């Protein structure tokens, strides 16, 4: 399998292309990030804000998970740009205790209004199974919900400006730093929904669960508005990272200092990255599936970011990736309990989604290669679903 000669991402990564000297497209576009006129981009941000500030019930909507990126975005917009946002969270049903505590500290410190929407778990569970079978990714409900819920709320509440956090150019090549990304129907279909819209999902669920009589009302939180509706309501959903240079490590230092935001242990990730993907109890399983399908995991992703920011050597990144990626997470037990699957069925489904030239390791190797990291609240989650 071919790997980027600068970072440690392989050819199986979605959207990555390999150019001259075997350098991946993300490494190439990050180099261009350094020549962007960020002062001009900052002026563009101020011009954008001036069009909306003090003209609506809230200046903007900030979609918020409680993780590092949305927390920094919220802090920056409130403290540095003096905006009055409405903060919205699509609660995917697997929020960990620590992120809930971080959320309380952040909201109290910044003094903002907050709405948390938690969808019907019985429907979520069916969606998890369906999207795993069809796409090898059980997170369809989260991918779609975090996009559809804030946009629909913006339309309903007549708050046209939304700020997401990091731009996708930081880690993929769907878009590059030359682009000013906006969340619209094109981006949603390209990046967000795994090629399945809510109406498709409704049909699939009724085919698999004909006796459950799932209705359109059940999938309303996942229906992304049409482009006509977005244009009619003059919705503008932008990414803060297109207007200031995104630097995760520096931003984590800020939110830890200013908001007392705390990191956490996540399976498949070295402890020095205690800020990464701490929101979801299922993150270790999600990263494990990525490794099974594509041959690299979250540590390869994180160390590659550090390589591009000249904070780590490639040799060190290889060492850490080999040490942490691909370990069977302890949270897999929880996932199997929730979905009522056994491991044989799980691996059989994943095998259908493996991206060549990567090959799924043998079952013996998978069983041998288990994580020794245990999320601190895992036992209570397993008990909850027993």
Element (DSSP H or E) covering residue 29: helix 25-33
The pTM for the full model equals: 0.96
From the list 243, 257, 275, 143, the residue with the least C-alpha distance to 196 is 143
- Start-to-end CA distance of the chain, whole Å, equals 41
**Greatest Cα pair distance in the chain:** 61
Which pLDDT belongs to residue 183?
95
Q: Does position 386 have pLDDT exceeding 80, yes or no?
A: no
**How far is the C-alpha of 104 from the C-alpha of 217, rounded, in Å?**
31
At 215-272, the pLDDT tens digits run: 999 999 999 999 999 999 999 999 999 999 999 999 999 999 999 999 999 999 999 9
From the list 45, 345, 326, the residue with the least C-alpha distance to 180 is 45
Q: Does position 88 have pLDDT exceeding 90, yes or no?
A: yes
For residue 335, with 0-12 CB atoms within 10 Å meaning exposed, 13-18 middle and 19 or more buried, which class applies?
buried
CA distances to 121, 285, 328, 334, 370 from 364, in Å: 34, 18, 12, 21, 11
Strands 161-164 and 113-117: unpaired
Report residue 57's pLDDT band, with 50, 70 and 90 as the boundaries.
very high
**How far is the C-alpha of 109 from the C-alpha of 262, rounded, in Å?**
14
Which pLDDT belongs to residue 168?
87
At 119-139, the pLDDT tens digits run: 999 999 999 999 999 999 999
- Per DSSP, 85 falls in state E
At 343-358, the pLDDT tens digits run: 999 999 999 999 999 9
Tokens 């919205």 belong to which residue? Answer: 88
Q: How far is CA 27 from the centre of its chain?
A: 20
CA distances to 129, 135, 344 from 351, in Å: 15, 11, 11
Strands 85-90 and 113-117: parallel
Residue 380's contacts (CB-CB under 8 Å, 6 or more residues apart) are: none
Output the six-digit token pair for 338: 């929730």
């Amino acid at each position: 399998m071919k790997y980027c000669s600068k970072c440690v991402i392989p050819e199986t990564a979605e959207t990555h292309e390999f150019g001259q000297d075997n350098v991946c497209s993300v490494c190439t576009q990050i180099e261009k990030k350094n020549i962007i006129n960020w002062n001009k981009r900052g002026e563009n941000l101020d011009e954008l804000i001036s069009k909306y500030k003090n003209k609506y019930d809230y200046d903007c909507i900030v979609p918020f998970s409680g993780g590092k990126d949305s927390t920094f975005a919220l802090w920056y917009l409130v403290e540095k740009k003096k905006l009055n946002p409405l903060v919205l969270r699509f609660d995917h049903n697997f929020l960990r205790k620590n992120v809930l505590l971080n959320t309380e500290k952040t909201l109290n410190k910044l003094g903002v209004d907050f709405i948390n929407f938690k969808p019907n778990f019985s429907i979520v569970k069916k969606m998890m199974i369906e999207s795993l079978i069809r796409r090898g990714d059980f997170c369809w409900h989260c991918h779609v919900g975090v996009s559809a819920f804030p946009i629909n709320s913006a339309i309903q509440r007549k708050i046209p400006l939304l700020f997401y956090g990091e731009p996708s150019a930081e880690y993929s090549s769907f878009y590059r730093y030359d682009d000013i990304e906006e969340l619209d129907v094109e981006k949603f279909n390209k990046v967000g929904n795994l090629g399945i819209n809510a109406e498709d999902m409704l049909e699939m669920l009724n085919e698999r669960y004909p006796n459950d009589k799932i209705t359109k009302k059940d999938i309303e939180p996942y229906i992304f508005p049409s482009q006509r509706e977005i244009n009619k309501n003059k919705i503008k959903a932008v990414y803060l990272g297109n207007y200031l240079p995104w630097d995760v490590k520096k931003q984590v230092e800020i939110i830890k200092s200013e908001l007392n935001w705390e990191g956490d242990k996540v399976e498949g990730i070295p402890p020095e990255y205690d800020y990464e993907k701490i929101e979801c109890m299922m993150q270790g399983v999600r990263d494990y599936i990525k490794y099974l399908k594509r041959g690299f995991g979250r540590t390869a992703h994180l160390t590659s970011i550090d390589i591009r920011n000249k904070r780590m050597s490639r040799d060190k990144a290889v060492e850490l990736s080999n040490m942490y990626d691909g370990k069977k997470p302890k949270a897999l037990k929880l996932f199997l309990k929730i979905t009522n699957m056994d491991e044989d069925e799980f691996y059989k489904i994943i095998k259908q989604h493996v991206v060549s030239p990567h090959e799924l390791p043998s079952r013996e190797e998978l069983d041998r290669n288990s994580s020794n990291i245990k999320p601190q609240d895992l036992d209570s989650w397993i008990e909850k679903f027993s």
